[in-house]
Every structure is written in structure tokens, then in C-alpha cells.
Structure 1
Amino acid sequence: MTTLRSKRLDLPDDAYSLYEHFCEKGWTDGLPIISPTQELVEAMLSSTSRDPQEVIAWMPPTYGAATVEKVAINAVMAGCKPDYFPIVLKAMEVLADPIFYQTPMGTIPTFPLLVVNGPIRDRVGLNYGYSCLGGGTRANLTIGRALRLIQTNIGQGGYLNIRDQTTIGTPGRVGMAFAENEEANPWEPLHVERGFPREASTITVFNAVSILNIVDSWSRSPESLAKNIGGSLAIPGINNYLEPAEPLLVLGVEHASIFAAAGMSKKQVRDLLWQKAYLEFGDLREQGRVHITDSPDQLTIVVAGGYGPHSTFISSFGRHPSVTRVLENL
């Protein structure tokens, strides 16, 4: 039996009183939680061989110690199954990586966005089809939510009022994770593009900010579609135009098929979209254009969702790139 060191609490037995208690303490994101009983926490820890007292990350801004045990407690509270726990742990490693670095404090509503690739997608039931960024799938919602609870409960000492100082906020700060639709992807998936074997399971964490749906049900040529999608990325006021950044474009299956039918590679699609994604700023730069990124390579493209004339643009905080890690020993 696993030895747990966290403080034991005498909690209410009924679900509503438990919810009220956690809200009063600032230990939840405003949504109901699962009571982190010893039995459930031990079940969560059973999915990893790591020492429960190992510190995965020091969470800013208070730099609380995110031990494996503390991460498991928050994963239980978020509603995760034990099968999800290796994904949560690996994502925590990314959050602790100085290359990535994300602080939950500040006025801009940043949040960690997870993209999962490989066999683990189906093994844990991650949605990569219809409504993969919406509700209805436990894995997608609870994995992302676990990360945010960890950031607030361990890094901020609780989610009390002023502790979240984003000016307006975003629904993404509740948590967001999805998988790439590799089966409907006409190109190599993200993890293969980044040098991992196709059979590997990976997570990629993005420093996300905002989400924009892009509809185009009329374009039949790559040029027309790229003009609409690329133009939709040219939004004054997003961070991507203020500093080096790595925004994410989630191409819908239908839109991806239009580019692929014309024989275009992902690189060619990325280059074309980048050419269309710019703002006019007089003589600020050569030809008076400022592109969404310094180079096309900084625009990340994945394919996800069901069939329909939609894609989604997710802007990023900039400064720090996304990080991809492989999930070992699954």
C-alpha cells in the first residue's frame, strides 16, 4: 500500500456540502470536484511507478512543490481516471521546463493546451473528432482541468478571488486537451513532424491564449481557402504580433482535404498561410507588412475535428515555444 503524506481532512459526506467546502477554501475552479479520498488517490498513483514524494515541478508564483502525490490528488479532484495520470505527469514536466515556462499570474489569460498523439489517444478515450475542443469527453476535459487545478492549488495556494488577475479571462483556463485526428490527417502528424516515431505516444503543450473558429464553406481552391484562413489569423491586438510566438492552427478535416487534394505538403500549406497572415503597418518593415510569426516554421498545424467547413486558430503568449515529450513505459 502506498504511504501518503498529505494532510488528512475531515470532509463532508454528501456531495453538495463537499462542493461548498472546497469553494469556500478556494480549492476548486468553481466546478464540483471528486473527493480525493485515500482510496482514489492510491488508485491514481497505481498507474505510475514514480515515488509519490518526487517533486515534478515547483509551481509559480509561490513555487509550491508539485509532488507526484499532490498531482494525483488534484487529478482525482478534476475527475481523471488512473489511465490519464501518465499524461498529467508528463504535462507537469513540461510546465516545469524553463524552455516552456508559463506563469498563471498576470493580466493575459494564458493556459496550457495539450495536444496528444499516438496510440495513447484511443487507449484513454481522447476525442479527436467532432467537438474535440468542446464538451462531452471526459478525458479531454479532466486532463486539462487537472493541470489548471494543480497550477492554482499548488502554485497559487488556492483559487481565491484576486489570485486570478486576468483582465477578462478565457474558458481555456478551466482546462483544455485534445488529440490529433491522425487517421484523417493527409500529412504526417505533429509528433512525427517533430522527430518521434509514428508508434510513439506524445504530448505537446502550448502556451495558449485565445480561440477563434474560422468558417469557409465556399472555397474549393487552396488559394481561396488560404486567403480566408490566413486572413483570419491577422488579428490586431493578439500577442503573436508583439513578440516571437508559436500560434496553433487546428485545420478541420474538410479544409485539410482541400489542400491535400491539390498535392500540397504541410510545409507548402504552412508557407502559403503565412504569406496571407499579415497586418499592414506602413513602413514599419519592408513592404509595410508584419507577419503573424517571424517565419512560417513558427506556425504549428495539426488536423482534428469531424467533417465540416471549419478550422480553429489558437493564439499563443509568445516568448516560449511549445514542448513535445514522449510518454514512456505505457
Structure 2
Amino acid sequence: MSHGVLDDIEKCMESGWTDGLPVIPPYGSLVDPMLEALGWQATDVVGNIPDQSIKVRAEQVAATAVMAGCKLEYAPVLRALVLAILDPRFNVSGVEVTTGGASVLVIVSGPVVAALGFEHEANALGANSRINATVGRFAQMMRLFCGKGGGVLQSHGTVGHPGRLSFCIAEHPQTAWGPYHTQFGLPAEVSAVSVMSSEGPNSCNNHYARTGAAILDTIGDCMLHYGQTAWYYRSSGYLVVIAPDHMALVKSEFTREQARQYLYENARRQTDDLVKVGRIAIPPLEYAEVEFGAMRTPLKTIDQLSFIECGAVGGRFSAVIPRWAGSQNVVCKQIVGI
């Protein structure tokens, strides 16, 4: 690598064109082919952030993809991904500035996982393969650059989230319950990318359970710790990650809808205990639907719970990933061109 390129990397860092790690300088010779792969013209407006009067142009998206280290062949995924991030339902500005330090969690599902070589087995939640790492990084850089609005806003995460560098999960190409995206109305045979604003994953370890219900009880208990975000407004939700060893037990007793219903009905905690530790405001707002003396669910509706199948065999682990309360939707887009 020439000193000129190294100097340009440093210039990008000094200019704030970075997530804290070195980036590939967005030379025109690299950005132009990425634009072509994305299927956009440089000045095309691909999305808006109305509350900040921001218009995102295709050339900005292509430059971000180059800086994140993405290959041209990832373009169909990136195109769908940026449309999901800029969908108003996602609230990218809020994700950037919340004190909760939320990350953009990217979920890839369908034939694209095998076609492009996403890691979906060992270390699935922290895969360091190039495609997982750079696609996840691209999403975080879009959040960083778009959410700040050129310096208008600053991140305010109280403790932050390591996934704000990269957080991309790919589902197994073959699943017991159907692809992840079928939970959001897309056909099983297509490929999709989904985004949700998330907190960090919580590991669920159960090596000795003999039933699927015991695994779901373990997962449900993980959802219910006092510090989890959703107790009051219940406006977020959860992604439940089930690895093969746990899935073998769960699928023998439950369909996906039955598992969702089981958790919705059984993952509850005494409201008065939540009041004692300060997790319920007194007096509560009517919107919070607080019923003293009753068991309380952290979910306002059953649709706030979704499942993904990934991870390696050989360990009886699952995970619970809470969604950030300020972004109430999972946004799912079909990938075209794979």
C-alpha cells in the first residue's frame, strides 16, 4: 500500500468519515462501479429523513459501501438494506441518538445466505467473515452518517453497544420453521434483509433440559430480568435466536406459532415486584396499561416476538436479543437480483 493511500485513510479519519476504524478511501474508481452494481445514478435520492430535512443520495450509499469494505457482489443486499434503514418505520435518527445505545441489527435470510457465503453457524452472532462483518458495518455507517445529519445530532449512548460497529446475523439456509422473513409476510422462497434496532444479545444456557418447554421457559426467564427495557411502555420486543441443539427439542413439541404463544402466555412477572424496584412509574400513564397485583408481560402484542434459526451444533445455547423501545418495527425487504 502506498503512502498516498495511507494518507488518504488518515484524511478520512480526520474528517469524521469513519466509525472509528480505518476505512477504504471512497475513490471515484471504486464508487462508480459500486453505483453501477447498485443500479442507481449518483444523484438519485434513495431515501429521506424528514425530521432532519435530509435526502440520501445514491452516491453517498455507494461511497459508504466502499468505505465499509463491501464487495460489488453484495450490491443487491446493500440496496435492499439501505431501503430498510431509510424506511420511516425504522427511525434511524432515534437509533443514532438514544441513550440506550441501540445498534442496527441486520438479519439476512433465504437462498442469498448460501449464494454469497454468509456465516450462519459457528459464532453466528459475531461472525467475522468478510460479508457478515462488512454488510453489518455498512448498516452502522449508514446509521452514523445519516442519523447525525452532518453533525446536527450526536450519539448519546449511556453505556453503548459493541454492535454499533457491526451486527449482522444470517439464518440457516434450511430451517425447521421456515425462513425468518416469512414472519413478516414474504414468501419462503425469496431472499430478504431485515433490520431492527437492538440491544445486545443475552445468552441462554441450558445443557440438561429434556423438553422443548424447558428450553422455552429458560428463554422466557431471560426476557424477564428487572433491567430489560420494555417493562413500562412495552413498545419494543424480542428476537429469539435458537441454535440447533435447543431447536431439536423445541421443534419436537412446538410449531413456531405455538412457541410464540407459549412465551407470550408464560413469560410474565408480578407487576407489584416491578413497582418495588422502580420499573413502573407511579402514578402510571394510561398508555402503559398497568394492572397492580397482576402478572405483567413485557410484550404489548404477540407480534413483537420473532425467531431466527442459526448457530452451530455442539452446545446447548440460545440467545435473546431485545429490541430498542424507540423503534417499534422490524422492517423486512426482499432482495432482488440474487
Q: Name stretches of at least 5 consecutive residues in structure 1 with no aligned partner.
A: 1-10
Distance 1:207 1:136 in 2: 20
Q: Is 1:298–2:304 an aligned residue pair? A: yes
Q: Which residue does 2:321 correspond to in 1?
A: 314
Q: Is this contact kept in 1: 2:47–2:55, CA < 8 A? A: yes
Pick aligned residue for 1:139 from 131, 145, 153 = 131
- Cα deviation for residue 268 of structure 1 reads 1.1
CA deviation digits over 1:68-127, x for unaligned, max 9? 111010110001011212222222212222222232113121222111111111222211
Q: Which residue does 1:190 correspond to in 2?
A: 180
Q: Which residue does 2:334 correspond to in 1?
A: 326
Pick aligned residue for 1:166 from 138, 141, 157 = 157
Equivalent residues in 2 for 1:3-82, closer than 5 Å? 13-15=4-6, 17-59=7-49, 62-82=52-72
- Cα deviation for residue 241 of structure 1 reads 1.9
Pick aligned residue for 1:178 from 169, 174, 177 = 169
Q: Give the TM-score of the pair, scaled to structure 2.
A: 0.86
Distance 2:146 2:219 in 1: 39
Between 1:33-42 and 1:86-95, the stretch displaced more is 86-95
Pick aligned residue for 1:250 from 236, 241, 245 = 241
Q: Is this contact kept in 1: 2:236–2:328, CA < 8 A? A: yes
Q: Which residue does 1:108 correspond to in 2?
A: 100
Query: Residues 88, 206 of structure 1: CA spacing in aligned structure 2 closer, same or farther, 3 A cutoff?
Result: same
Distance 2:76 2:67 in 1: 16
Distance 2:163 2:21 in 1: 14
Query: Residues 54, 216 of structure 1: CA spacing in aligned structure 2 closer, same or farther, 3 A cutoff?
Result: same
Q: Is this contact kept in 2: 1:41–1:73, CA < 8 A? A: yes
Helix, strand or coil: the match of 1:172? helix
- Cα deviation for residue 149 of structure 1 reads 1.4
CA deviation digits over 1:15-43, x for unaligned, max 9? 3x333322222111111111211111122
Distance 1:94 1:290 in 2: 32
Distance 2:5 2:129 in 1: 25
Equivalent residues in 2 for 1:195-274, closer than 5 Å? 195-243=185-233, 244-262=235-253, 264-274=254-264
**Quick one: which amino acid aligns to residue 305 of structure 1?**
G
Moved over 6 A (4+): none
Q: Is this contact kept in 2: 1:121–1:179, CA < 8 A? A: yes
Q: Name stretches of at least 5 consecutive residues in structure 2 with no aligned partner.
A: 274-289
Q: Is this contact kept in 1: 2:183–2:306, CA < 8 A? A: no
Helix, strand or coil: the match of 1:130? coil
Q: Which residue does 1:8 correspond to in 2?
A: none
Q: Is this contact kept in 1: 2:230–2:236, CA < 8 A? A: yes
**Quick one: which amino acid aligns to residue 137 of structure 1?**
S
Distance 1:165 1:171 in 2: 14
**Quick one: which amino acid aligns to residue 137 of structure 2?**
R
**Quick one: which amino acid aligns to residue 200 of structure 1?**
V
**Quick one: which amino acid aligns to residue 320 of structure 2?**
F
Distance 1:261 1:87 in 2: 33
Helix, strand or coil: the match of 1:249? strand
- Cα deviation for residue 137 of structure 1 reads 0.9
CA deviation digits over 1:149-169, x for unaligned, max 9? 122234425689x92221111
- Cα deviation for residue 49 of structure 1 reads 2.2
Q: Which residue does 1:119 correspond to in 2?
A: 111
Q: Is this contact kept in 2: 1:57–1:95, CA < 8 A? A: no
- Cα deviation for residue 175 of structure 1 reads 2.2
Q: Is this contact kept in 2: 1:62–1:156, CA < 8 A? A: no
Q: Is this contact kept in 2: 1:57–1:66, CA < 8 A? A: yes
**Quick one: which amino acid aligns to residue 319 of structure 2?**
T
Aligned CA-pair RMSD: 2.3
Query: Residues 248, 159 of structure 1: CA spacing in aligned structure 2 closer, same or farther, 3 A cutoff?
Result: farther
Query: Residues 194, 257 of structure 1: CA spacing in aligned structure 2 closer, same or farther, 3 A cutoff?
Result: same
**Quick one: which amino acid aligns to residue 124 of structure 1?**
L
Q: Is this contact kept in 2: 1:45–1:82, CA < 8 A? A: no
- Cα deviation for residue 326 of structure 1 reads 0.9
